[in-house]
Amino acid sequence: MRLLITNCNTTESMTKEIEAGARLAASPGTEIVARTPRWGPESAEGWLDSFLSAAAVLDLLRELTEAGERFDAVVLAGFGEHGREGARELLGVPVVDITEAAAHLACLLGRRYAVVTTLDRTRGLIEDSLHTAGVAANCVAVLGAGLGVLELGDEGRTASALLTAGRRARDRGAEVLVLGCAGMTGLDRRISAELGVPVVDGVAAAVRLAESCVALGLSTSRAGSYAAPLPKERRWRPV
Amino acid sequence: MRLLITNCNTTESMTKEIEAGARLAASPGTEIVARTPRWGPESAEGWLDSFLSAAAVLDLLRELTEAGERFDAVVLAGFGEHGREGARELLGVPVVDITEAAAHLACLLGRRYAVVTTLDRTRGLIEDSLHTAGVAANCVAVLGAGLGVLELGDEGRTASALLTAGRRARDRGAEVLVLGCAGMTGLDRRISAELGVPVVDGVAAAVRLAESCVALGLSTSRAGSYAAPLPKERRWRPV
Amino acid sequence: MRLLITNCNTTESMTKEIEAGARLAASPGTEIVARTPRWGPESAEGWLDSFLSAAAVLDLLRELTEAGERFDAVVLAGFGEHGREGARELLGVPVVDITEAAAHLACLLGRRYAVVTTLDRTRGLIEDSLHTAGVAANCVAVLGAGLGVLELGDEGRTASALLTAGRRARDRGAEVLVLGCAGMTGLDRRISAELGVPVVDGVAAAVRLAESCVALGLSTSRAGSYAAPLPKERRWRPV
Amino acid sequence: MRLLITNCNTTESMTKEIEAGARLAASPGTEIVARTPRWGPESAEGWLDSFLSAAAVLDLLRELTEAGERFDAVVLAGFGEHGREGARELLGVPVVDITEAAAHLACLLGRRYAVVTTLDRTRGLIEDSLHTAGVAANCVAVLGAGLGVLELGDEGRTASALLTAGRRARDRGAEVLVLGCAGMTGLDRRISAELGVPVVDGVAAAVRLAESCVALGLSTSRAGSYAAPLPKERRWRPV
Amino acid sequence: MRLLITNCNTTESMTKEIEAGARLAASPGTEIVARTPRWGPESAEGWLDSFLSAAAVLDLLRELTEAGERFDAVVLAGFGEHGREGARELLGVPVVDITEAAAHLACLLGRRYAVVTTLDRTRGLIEDSLHTAGVAANCVAVLGAGLGVLELGDEGRTASALLTAGRRARDRGAEVLVLGCAGMTGLDRRISAELGVPVVDGVAAAVRLAESCVALGLSTSRAGSYAAPLPKERRWRPV
Amino acid sequence: MRLLITNCNTTESMTKEIEAGARLAASPGTEIVARTPRWGPESAEGWLDSFLSAAAVLDLLRELTEAGERFDAVVLAGFGEHGREGARELLGVPVVDITEAAAHLACLLGRRYAVVTTLDRTRGLIEDSLHTAGVAANCVAVLGAGLGVLELGDEGRTASALLTAGRRARDRGAEVLVLGCAGMTGLDRRISAELGVPVVDGVAAAVRLAESCVALGLSTSRAGSYAAPLPKERRWRPV
C-alpha cells in the first residue's frame, strides 16, 4: 500500500518529522511518501494561512497526479487546516485529515475528548473542522497552549505548555486528549504518561484510518458532494 | 465610501454583472470597485473550486493592498465559497460575504428561509458556510436548481429552474428565498413576483450590510480569531 | 424614507434617547419618528414586563395605523422584549427588533459575540429572542451588569459596570460585544475603545438594517408565519 | 386544592369547554375555577393574537390576585400562546401551560411525538413554545389541520381533519399525538381509538401536572428568571 | 390504582426507603408495591452496573408478569440507569423512570435546572438518559457530590455534600435542583430550605406522573419503538 | 494481536458468520476469537432484547476474564445494541462497537451517511447509539428494510430489501451507506456495486479500528466515565 502524506506548510523539516511519525504508525507493507507544498505559508496559524495552505496542497496533489504518481490513499497533515473536501473531489482514493482522524479514535477511548493545540487563534478553525467532519459532539474544548507552530522545536517547553493545557482540558471533563498540531507528533506518549489519559496523535491516527479504508476496499463516495470535479478551465496560477 | 467587491471566479463577464448589481443596491455616495481574481476557476462549483478561489481572491486582496489601494469595506461575491475569515484577518475593514449577508436579511423577513442555488453538489458548501457564519438555524433547505454557474446566461431557463426549486422550498416551509449564486443577481424580483415571497440577492444584501458597518464605525474584531496575520514567510501563489 | 421607532416602555426620556441614537445612525434622507406606548411598564425587566410591553407596543402600532400614519419600516427598541413577530403580522412593512439587529451585525465582525445587559433576570429573555431570531449560534454569553434599566442614567457607573461585564465576556471567548439595552445607546464607542473590541448598539444596527430592507425593496413575507392577521373580533382594551 | 384555569381568548363558550375538560381530568378534591380574560382576541391564531392574549391573561391574573382570590396553582389554557413565564413571575404558585404539559406526558409514552393543531400559521408559535419549555427535542412535527379555532365546533369535520393530520404525523415517525388546541378537548379518545396511538390533551395534562406540583410541595423557583417582579410603575392595560 | 416501583439494585434497605418515599408522594387510593431485583449490583454506579441492573429489573418485571401480578403503572427507581425503554416494550402499562420524571417537573418550575448526584462517574449516564428522554435541553449541569450510593446513610454528611454541589449548580445558572439518586429521597425539603430553590425528588415525581398517565387513560404507545416484543426464544438465564 | 469479537445474541450460526467477516477484514497477524453469549435473546430487535443482550455479553466478558483469557481488544458485534460503555469499564483494553465503527469510517467517505437496518423498531436504538458515540451529526437517516434478523439468511430477498432501503437513503442525501446489522456482513460489496456508493460493514470497520488502537498503544481512558468498576457485590446473572 502506498500512502501519500502532505504537510500543510512549506517547512521541510516539519515534513520530515511528519514522515517519521507516519512511518512509526504505519503497518508493515505500507510505503509512506511525504511531500511539502511548493508554496503557501511556512506555518499555518489562522484562516489566511489555512486557505493558502489548502490551495497549495491541492496544487501539489494535482501536480503529483499529472506526473503520473499513484497512491492508495492520502493523509493531509495539517491540524484544523482546510482542503480536505477538495482533495476528496480531486482524487479517487480515500483522503483522511489528521484533525478528524484523531477525533474519530478519541471518541472510541473516552466519553469526552479535548484538543490541545498551539495558539488560541486557531481554535475556531479546529472547531469548524471537527463540526464539518461530524465528530464535534463529544469534544468538550479546544485549548491553545500559547505556542506558535515554529516554536514547537523546544521539546521541553512544548511539553510543559501542553501539560498545562492538558490539565485545563481534564478540568473541563476531557477523558482523552488530542494533540492539535502535526508538529507535536512524538509527544503523545509523554503527555499521556504524565496526565494519565490516552493522548491521540493525528498523524498516527490518520495513517491507520487511511490504511483501514484501503484494506476494506472503501473509497471516497462519488455520489454527491465529492463527485469528480466538473471539467472546466482552472487557472492554477496567475497568468 | 469606497467598497471593493470581488468575484470568486475568473469570468470577467460575471464580474461585470456583479458590479452592476452592486451599483443598483448601493447608497448614493458609495463607490463600487469590482475586481476579478487573476487565477482560479472560471466558475466555482464544489470544494476544489472553492479552495482554489479562496486563495486566488486572498492573493488579489493582498495585491491590491500592496498596490496602495484602500477600501472602506469588502464584499466577497462567491455564494458558499471559502475565504471570508482569511480576508478578515488580512484586512482592517469590514468583510461581508454574500452567503451570510443574504441569510441575515432573510432572517428578518420570515421565520424560515431557504437557499436556491445552482447544482446540488454545492449544497454542502453553502450549508457549512451558513453554519460557520452563525445563521443556519432558520434555514430549512438548500436546494439545487440543476444548473451550472456558466449556464445561468439563459435567463428564461434559469428563471424556470429557480421557480421549480423555489416551489419545493416553499413546500419545505420556506417563507423567504435566497438566491444562492452571484450570477443570479437580477432575477430576485421576478422570482419574488411569481412565488409571492421575498427573494434576497446576496450581492445587494452584502453591499448594504457592508455600508451599514462602515456607517456605524464598526469593523472586524482584532481580538481573537481575526487578529492580523502573524508575520512570517508566505509564498502567496504558485510559481 | 420614514422610519418609526418604538420604545418598549412608557418612559418618555428614554424614547428621546432612542430617537437621538436612531438619528445619529440613520442615513441622510431617513426621517425618524419615535413613539412611546401609552401603557405598559416604565421599564422592561423580565417576562411580565415584556409581555405587557409587547401588547402595548402592538396597540400603539395599531393606533398609528388606524390614524392613517404610514411608515416604510419599523424598529422595535426593546432589547430582548417580545412583540416582534406580532408587529410583522400587523404591518406590511419591514420590522426589525434591536436584539436581532445587533446580533446580525455582530456575527459579521467576529467569530463569537456576547451580549452585555442590565440585570441577570433578563438573560433568559434575550437568549430566547436570539434563538427565535435564528442568530443565537455564535453567541457565547448573555451577561448582566447588575444595573436596572432606570439606573442607567449615571453614565460613569453604567460604563464601569459594562466594562466589568465586558471583560467577563471576553474571557468567555467573545470577540464582539452587543449592548443589551436600548438605554445604553451612546456608550458603545467608549466601551469599544477601552476593551479593544467592536461594540454594537442595537438601535443603530436596527435602523441600518431596516433602511437596507426598504432600499432593496424587501418586506416581511406574507407567506406563512407572518400572514396578515385573520379578521376577527379583537378587544384591544377591557370593556 | 383550588386550581385556576384561564382561557387565552374571550370566547366564553370555549372557557366552558375547557372547564369541563379540566373537571374530568382533575383528582377528587380539586376545585376547578375557569376564567375568561376581559379583553384580547376571540381566538388566538398567530403572534399578534398571542401577544394580545398574554397581556390580557396577565391582567386577569393581576385582577384576581388584587381581588384577594387565592389559588394553589394556575393552568394556562392557550396552546402555543405566550404569557407562561410572566405568570410565573407574577404569582407565587405553580403555573403550567397546556402546551408544555401535553409534551411532557407525550415524552413518557413514546419515543417521538407530534402536535396536531388548527392552522399552519400557528406552527411556529408552538415550536417556539416547546423549545423554550425544554421539551422540543422529541417532537418530530407540528402539523396544522386546516381549521380555525372557531371552526372546531363541528366535531365531525374537526375529527376528520385531525385524523388526516394525525396520519401524516405517524408517517413522520410520531408514536404519540398531542392535540394542539384547548378547543379540541374531548376528541383525544376518539382520535386515539382510530389511529392506535396515545393522544394527549393539554388541558387534562396540565391539570394533572399542576396538581402534582402542589401535592409535592413544589412551586415556581424565585431564584433567577422567575423572581417576583421588580416594584415599579406598570400601566396594566390600555386606557 | 396499583403501582409497582422497582429498585435498581439488590439492597433491600434501599428498596424500603424508596417504598416509603413513594407512599408519601402517592395520592390516596394508590397502592404502592416495591420490589428488589433478585440479581444485579448492590448499588449502581456506572455503566457496567447500569446494564446489569437493567437486565435484572427486566427479569423481575417478566417474573412478576408471568406470576400473574398486574399493575396499572411501573416506576423505575434507578437514577440514570438503563432499562426504561425495555420495560415499555415488555409491559402494556405506563412506565416512568425517576430520572426523566424529576426533569419533567423541574422544567415546569424554573428556566434551567441541574442534577446533583452521587459520584462524578455517573454523570455521563444521567446526561445520556435525559437526552434520550427528550428533557436535556434545559439542564445546565449534572454534578457529582463525591459520595457513593452506599455512603448516603450518613444523612448529615450527605446533606452537606449535596449543599456544596447545589451551590455550584446555582452558580452555573440552575434555578431548580434535581436529586440524582433514589437513595436521596427525603433530603429534598432540607436542601430546598437551605438553598432557596425548589428541589425535585425523582421517586416522588415519578409516582405522580405515573398516576397522572393512568388517571388520564394514557399508556405506552405500541406504534413504533415500544411495540410488544417479538415472539422469539429469549434465554433469561444461562443454561 | 488477539482480538475477541462477541455476538450479541445466542445464535451460533450468526457468530460463525461474524467470525468469518472479521477474519476477512483483519490484518495478517491478528487472531480472531469469536464467542456467543450463554444466555440472552436469539436475535436482538428492540430495547428489551438489547438490554438482555448487554448483560449477557458483559457476563460473557467477565467469565472469559476470570478464566484467564487475555485479549488485546474487543469488538462488540451487535448493531445498535447496548453494553459498549460497560465493557469499557470492565476491561482494560480497547472496546469498539460495530455501530460506531461503521459510522466513523462512513464519515471519512462522504459528507452524509445513512444506516440501513433490519426492522423499523430498531431505528431508535441505533439513533441513540450513534448519538452517545458522538457520530450522529452526519447521519441523515436510519431506515428499516422490513426484515427480521433471523430472516437475513435468504440472501436474495435481503439484498433486494436493502437495495430498496438504500435508494430511499440516497434520496435523503446519503452519500455512504452503513449496513446496520452484524448479520448483513458480506452484502456490502454487492449493495455498493448496485447503488454506486461506498457501503460500510460494521464488523469489518470495528476490527480495523480495534487493531488501529492497539497498534498505536491507545486504550480506554480510565480517567472519568470508564474508570474500573468500583469493588462491590455484583450478582452477575439470574440464579
Taking residues B120-139, what's their average pLDDT? 97
Across the interface, do C52 and D236 touch by the CB < 8 Å criterion? yes
Q: Which of E61, E58, E59, E91 is nearest to E222 (CA)?
A: E91
Residue F167: pLDDT band by 50, 70, 90 thresholds?
Answer: very high
Q: What is the mean pLDDT of chain A?
A: 95
Distance CA E198, CA A126 (A): 40
Rounded CA Rg of chain D: 17
pLDDT tens-digit map of A62-71: 999 999 999 9
Taking residues F73-85, what's their average pLDDT? 97
Phi, psi of A179 (to 5 degrees): -85, 115
pLDDT tens-digit map of D217-233: 999 999 999 999 999 99
Taking residues F18-35, what's their average pLDDT? 97
Across the interface, do A234 and B50 touch by the CB < 8 Å criterion? no
Q: Which residues of F touch A217 (CB under 8 A)?
A: 189
**E183 CA: distance to closest CA in chain F (Å):** 17
Taking residues F148-166, what's their average pLDDT? 87
Contacts of residue B193, defined as CB under 8 A and 6 or more positions apart, other chains included, come to none
Distance CA C136, CA C141 (A): 10
Q: At what angle do helices B202-215 and C202-215 cross, to 10 degrees?
A: 140
Taking residues A77-98, what's their average pLDDT? 97
Neighbours of chain E (3+ CB pairs under 8 A): D, F
Provide the chain B residues 183-222 that lie in CB contact (below 8 A) with chain A.
none
Nearest by CB to D175, from E135, E173, E225: name it: E225
Q: Is the pLDDT of residue D96 over 80?
A: yes
b/e burial code for range A218-228 (CB count within 10 A of at least 16 → b):
bbbbbbbbbbe
* The three grid cell numbers given for residue C100, joined into one nine-digit string: 436581532
pLDDT tens-digit map of E36-67: 999 999 999 999 999 999 999 999 999 999 99
Phi, psi of A46 (to 5 degrees): 135, 175
Across the interface, do D137 and E138 touch by the CB < 8 Å criterion? no
Chain E touched by F85 (CB under 8 Å) = yes
Cβ neighbours around B135 below 10 Å, total: 27
Residue E72: pLDDT band by 50, 70, 90 thresholds?
Answer: very high
Point out the least confidently predicted range of A44-58, A205-219, E118-132, E152-166.
Answer: E152-166
Nearest by CB to C110, from B107, B215, B226: name it: B226
Across the interface, do F137 and A137 touch by the CB < 8 Å criterion? yes
Taking residues A76-92, what's their average pLDDT? 97
For residue E128, the 8-state DSSP code is H
pLDDT tens-digit map of F110-140: 999 999 998 999 999 999 999 999 999 999 9
A113 near A179, Cβ under 8 Å? no
Chain C touched by B173 (CB under 8 Å) = yes
Distance CA C25, CA C211 (A): 11
Q: Is the pLDDT of residue B2 over 80?
A: yes
What are the CA-CA distances from residue E6 to residues B118, D109, E17, E62, F85 (Å)? 58, 19, 12, 12, 23
Supply the pLDDT for residue D85. 98
Q: Is the pLDDT of residue A53 over 90?
A: yes
Supply the pLDDT for residue A127. 98
Residue B56: pLDDT band by 50, 70, 90 thresholds?
Answer: very high
Distance CA E15, CA A135 (A): 41
How are beta strands C31-35 and B199-201 bridged, if at all? unpaired
Please determine whether the domains at A2-97+205-215 and A99-202 fall in the same fold group of CATH: yes
Q: Is the pLDDT of residue D237 over 90?
A: no
Q: Is the pLDDT of residue E185 over 80?
A: no
Chain A touched by B82 (CB under 8 Å) = yes
Supply the pLDDT for residue D149. 77
What is E99-202's CATH topology?
A: Rossmann fold (3.40.50)
Q: Is the pLDDT of residue E237 over 90?
A: no
Supply the pLDDT for residue A121. 93
pLDDT tens-digit map of D201-221: 999 999 999 999 999 999 999
Contacts of residue A118, defined as CB under 8 A and 6 or more positions apart, other chains included, come to A45, A144, A145, A147, A148, A149, A152, A180, A181, A183
Residue E92: pLDDT band by 50, 70, 90 thresholds?
Answer: confident
* The three grid cell numbers given for residue D235, joined into one nine-digit string: 400601566
Distance CA F179, CA F171 (A): 17
b/e burial code for range F108-132 (CB count within 10 A of at least 16 → b):
bbbbbbbbbbbbbbbbbbbbbbbbb
Taking residues D114-123, what's their average pLDDT? 94
Q: What is the mean pLDDT of chain D?
A: 95
Across the interface, do F212 and A208 touch by the CB < 8 Å criterion? yes
Q: Write the DSSP string, A78-113.
A: -TT-S-HHHHHHH-SS-EEEHHHHHHHHHHHH-S-E
Its pTM surpasses 0.95: yes
* The three grid cell numbers given for residue D180, joined into one nine-digit string: 394542539
Q: Is the pLDDT of residue A17 over 80?
A: yes
Supply the pLDDT for residue B89. 98
Q: How many CB pairs under 8 A join E and F?
A: 151
Supply the pLDDT for residue B203. 96
Interface test with C, best of D11, D48, D60, D97 (most C CBs within 10 A): D48
Q: Is the pLDDT of residue B204 over 90?
A: yes
Supply the pLDDT for residue F238. 81
Distance CA D154, CA D18 (A): 16
Supply the pLDDT for residue B112. 98
**E122 CA: distance to closest CA in chain F (Å):** 7
Strands (E), chain E: 2-7, 31-35, 40-41, 73-77, 95-97, 113-117, 139-144, 176-180, 199-201, 234-235
Q: Is the pLDDT of residue B64 over 80?
A: yes
D26 near D18, Cβ under 8 Å? no
Supply the pLDDT for residue C238. 80
Q: Is the pLDDT of residue A239 over 80?
A: no
Q: Is the pLDDT of residue A149 over 80?
A: no
Neighbours of chain C (3+ CB pairs under 8 A): B, D
Taking residues F93-105, what's their average pLDDT? 98
A134 near A101, Cβ under 8 Å? no
Taking residues E144-153, what's their average pLDDT? 84
Contacts of residue F195, defined as CB under 8 A and 6 or more positions apart, other chains included, come to A223, F163, F166, F167, F170, F177
Taking residues E85-99, what's their average pLDDT? 97
Supply the pLDDT for residue A58. 98
Taking residues A129-133, what's their average pLDDT? 98
Nearest by CB to E198, from D105, D205, D218: name it: D218
Supply the pLDDT for residue B17. 94
Q: What is the mean pLDDT of chain E?
A: 95
Q: What is the mean pLDDT of chain C?
A: 95
Give the 3-state secondary structure of residue C28: coil
Contacts of residue D12, defined as CB under 8 A and 6 or more positions apart, other chains included, come to D36
pLDDT tens-digit map of D40-53: 999 999 999 999 99
Chain D touched by C138 (CB under 8 Å) = no
Q: Is the pLDDT of residue B81 over 80?
A: yes
Q: Which residues of F touch E83 (CB under 8 A)?
A: 51
Taking residues A76-105, what's their average pLDDT? 97
Alpha helices (H) in chain B, listed in sequence order: 12-25, 47-66, 84-90, 98-109, 123-133, 155-171, 188-195, 202-215
What are the CA-CA distances from residue E125 to residues C108, E128, F225 (Å)? 39, 5, 9
Taking residues A100-128, what's their average pLDDT? 97
- The amino acid sitting at C7 is N
Residue D182: pLDDT band by 50, 70, 90 thresholds?
Answer: confident
Q: Which residues of D touch E136 (CB under 8 A)?
A: 137
Q: Where are the domains of chain A?
A: 2-97+205-215, 99-202
Q: Is the pLDDT of residue F177 over 80?
A: yes
Q: What is the pLDDT along chain C (239 residues), one digit of tens a residue?
A: 999 999 999 999 999 999 999 999 999 999 999 999 999 999 999 999 999 999 999 999 999 999 999 999 999 999 999 999 999 999 989 999 999 999 999 999 999 999 999 899 999 999 999 999 999 999 999 999 998 877 877 888 889 999 999 999 999 999 999 999 877 777 889 999 999 999 999 999 999 999 999 999 999 999 999 999 999 999 998 87
Which CATH number does A2-97+205-215 carry? 3.40.50.12500
Q: Which of F110, F111, F116, F125 is nearest to F144 (CA)?
A: F116
Distance CA C87, CA C98 (A): 14
Beta bridge partners of B96: B75
Supply the pLDDT for residue F149. 77
Beta bridge partners of A220: none
